[in-house]
């Protein structure tokens, strides 16, 4: 009887181990790593310890995030946090400022609040890590990964399976082109010329990422800056009508960026590029807010003054209690509820225009 019991227990243990192994395999992310480049929309702590006014490592930022204030410009998750979950990662991608050792193998977030494509963008807010410098930081990460693998070929194979998300350009309009008292770009360039100049510089950095192993690219368009609580407070006659001259400039840039996806998919055949139409997704949220659970679309949950449209939440300020009802968390940044919707539609496109030529889910599965 004792021998039979032991045999039965061995079978049970083997079954449990097998089940755990199956669960472990099922829990593997779709891609081995996820690299993120961008600005405050996706910064998760890189600005915390630099001399910058563009910081969010204090309450009430993070009020709905498990880790509290981390440097995220949101009440909770950002779009890339949600995307990391959708891709199957067990934890969020670490910021470059704190990523160490084996952590870099699952990806790094290089984003920096106030950063732009142009080096001078966001300078009024102090230190920031522009797109070019973010790419240079990625080069340092690649050197670490090569050391971990022990040779360049294995590291390149690994990196070629990863997702590279780029979301820059908003600050080049908000904290550059549309600040004529501080920057000369609006006098130097028409909106079309400025978009061309931005895309040309953007292209150089994307090609550098390609040269350093990147193969699966997500190029995220600029959102409707002219509909942010800040711009509504400053430039909208009724506090609800979006500022058309800003949104029109955004759309010019986005059209160039979408065309860039076509160009890269033609010229760089061993890579895949997709475009995410955040502008269009945001339009849906504003046109049909109740369909998505939003009640307030023209004012921030946290802020002061008209539309609660000041630059950012003040330390220890008490935000609105019904945060999921608000499209915007502060004067510039979407709420966690909005970020989740944008991320989910980027991952699994609900409309044909959400992602071009296909969504992030398909990109993750693409065989190169």
Pick out the chain residues at pLDDT < 50. 1-26
Together in a domain, 23 and 89: no
Least Cα distance to 56 among 81, 77, 74 occurs for 74
Among residues 39, 40, 112, 346, which one is catalytic? 40
The verdict on 122 and 228 lying in the same domain is: yes
Which entry of 277, 330, 354, 359 is annotated as an active-site residue?
330
Cis before 60? omega within 30: yes
> Residue 312: its pLDDT value, please?
78
Whole-number pLDDT of residue 303 = 93
Give me the residue label for tokens 């889910």. Answer: 361
CATH code, domain carrying 214: 3.40.50
Same domain, yes or no, for 118 and 175?
A: yes
Same domain, 271 and 342: yes
Domain count for the chain: 2
Report pLDDT for 275. Answer: 98
The answer to whether residues 23 and 64 belong to one domain is no
State the pLDDT at residue 364: 98
HSE of 129 in the Cβ direction (CA atoms, 13 Å)? Answer: 25
Query: Which pLDDT does position 310 carry in this prediction?
Result: 76
20 with 108, same domain: the answer is no
Asked if residue 20 and residue 62 are part of one domain, the reply reads: no
Same domain, 9 and 82: no
Whose tokens are 């849906």? That residue is 284
The pTM for the full model equals 0.92
Residue 21, pLDDT score? 40
Between the alpha carbon of residue 115 and those of residues 168, 273, 309, 311, the distances in Å are 8, 22, 21, 16
Residues 39, 250, 212: CA angle, nearest 5 degrees: 45
Same domain, 11 and 107: no
Q: Please report the pLDDT score of residue 5 as a whole number.
A: 36
The question of whether 333 is a catalytic residue gets the answer yes
- Residue 328, class by beta-carbon neighbours within 10 Å (0-12 exposed, 13-18 middle, 19+ buried)? buried
Residue 120 pLDDT: 98
Q: By the 8 A CB rule, do 75 and 2 touch?
A: no
Residue of 333, 335, 346, 354 with catalytic role: 333
- Domain span at residue 102 reads 33-365
What is the helix (H) or strand (E) element at residue 231, kind and residue range?
A: helix 229-235
Same domain, 141 and 26: no
Q: Is 330 exposed, middle or buried (0-12, 13-18, 19+ CB in 10 A)?
A: buried
Predicted local distance difference test score (pLDDT) of residue 228: 97
What pLDDT shows up at residue 26?
47
- For the question of residue 40 being annotated catalytic, the response is yes
- Find where tokens 């992030």 sit: 360
Do 159 and 133 share a domain, yes or no?
yes
pLDDT digits (tens, 9 = 90+) for 186-245: 999 999 999 999 999 999 999 999 999 999 999 999 999 999 999 999 999 999 999 999
In the Cβ-directed half-sphere of 286, how many Cα atoms lie within 13 Å?
Answer: 21
Predicted local distance difference test score (pLDDT) of residue 64: 98
330 catalytic per annotation: yes
- φ/ψ of 115, rounded to 5, equals -70, 150
Non-local (6+) Cβ contacts of 108 within 8 A are 35, 36, 93, 94, 95, 96, 99, 137, 138, 141
345-348 — which CB contacts under 8 Å span 24+ positions? Answer: 345/281, 346/79, 346/83, 346/218, 346/220, 346/276, 346/278, 346/281, 347/83, 347/86, 347/87
Clarify whether residues 235 and 280 are in a common domain.
yes
């Amino acid at each position: 009887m004792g021998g039979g019991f032991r045999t039965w227990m061995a079978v049970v243990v083997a079954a449990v181990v097998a089940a755990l192994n199956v669960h472990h395999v099922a829990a593997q992310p779709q891609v081995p790593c996820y690299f993120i480049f961008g600005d405050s929309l996706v910064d998760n702590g890189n600005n915390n310890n630099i001399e910058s006014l563009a910081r969010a490592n204090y309450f009430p930022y993070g009020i709905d995030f498990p880790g509290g204030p981390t440097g995220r410009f949101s009440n909770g998750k950002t779009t890339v946090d949600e995307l990391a979950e959708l891709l199957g990662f067990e934890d969020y991608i670490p910021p470059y400022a704190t990523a160490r050792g084996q952590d870099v193998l699952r990806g790094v977030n290089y984003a920096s609040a106030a950063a732009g494509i142009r080096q001078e963008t966001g300078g009024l807010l102090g230190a920031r890590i522009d797109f070019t410098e973010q790419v240079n930081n990625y080069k340092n990460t690649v050197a670490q990964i090569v050391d971990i693998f022990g040779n360049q070929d294995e590291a390149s194979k690994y990196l070629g399976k990863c997702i590279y998300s780029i979301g820059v350009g908003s600050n080049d309009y908000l904290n550059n082109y549309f600040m004529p008292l501080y920057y000369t770009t609006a006098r130097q360039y028409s909106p079309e010329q400025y978009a061309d100049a931005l895309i040309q510089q953007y292209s150089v950095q994307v090609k550098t990422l390609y040269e350093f192993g990147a193969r699966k690219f997500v190029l995220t368009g600029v959102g409707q800056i002219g509909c942010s609580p800040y711009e509504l407070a400053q430039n909208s006659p009724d506090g609800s009508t979006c500022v058309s001259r800003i949104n029109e400039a955004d759309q010019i840039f986005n059209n160039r960026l979408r065309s860039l996806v076509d160009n890269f998919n033609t010229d760089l055949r061993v890579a895949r590029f997709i475009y995410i139409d955040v502008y269009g997704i945001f339009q849906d949220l504003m046109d049909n807010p109740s369909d998505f659970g939003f009640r307030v679309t023209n004012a921030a949950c946290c802020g002061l003054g008209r539309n609660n449209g000041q630059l950012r939440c003040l330390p220890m300020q008490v935000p609105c209690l019904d945060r999921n009802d608000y499209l915007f968390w502060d004067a510039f940044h979407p709420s966690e509820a909005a970020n989740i919707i944008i991320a989910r539609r980027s991952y699994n496109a609900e409309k044909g225009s959400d992602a071009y030529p296909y969504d992030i889910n398909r990109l993750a599965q693409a065989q190169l």
